[in-house]
Amino acid sequence: MNLTLRIWRQAGPDAPGSMTTYQVSGISPDMSFLEMLDTLNEELITRGDLPVAFDHDCREGICGACGMVINGQAHGPERTTTCQLHMRHFKDGDTIDVEPWRAAAFPVVKDLVVD
């Protein structure tokens, strides 16, 4: 799959943030959403760019630390945690917006990480 990702990037809690667009290719429909973000980060690191910060703890659908807003929906289009959301729920060529879970109780620390 080839995807366009529009990801919220924010250097720190007091820094302004904005959506940044990335292209990812070769994404397997069997990957989890977090594995897809890992693939993006590997590409960014290879290019010498900063990876996207995001929470990921157990990756087993238990802890809930991977919460983010995907295309305006908490955790994405399925009723599951983000780490259990598989890329088969998206189509080749899709544009996906990824933002932190914004709330007064969860201030943004960096990129998709909230406190």
CATH number, domain of 45, equals 3.10.20.30
Instruction: Give yes or no for residue 14 having a pLDDT over 90.
Output: yes
Instruction: Supply the range of the domain harboring residue 100.
Output: 3-114
- Strand, helix or coil at 40? helix
Instruction: Give yes or no for residue 91 having a pLDDT over 80.
Output: yes
Element housing 44 (H / E):
helix 33-47
- Strand, helix or coil at 82? helix
Q: Per the structure, how many domains does the chain have?
A: 1
pTM of the full structure: 0.91
pLDDT score at 17: 96
pLDDT score at 101: 87
Which DSSP state fits 49?
P
* pLDDT, averaged across the chain: 91
pLDDT digits (tens, 9 = 90+) for 42-85: 999 999 999 999 987 666 656 666 679 999 998 888 888 888 89
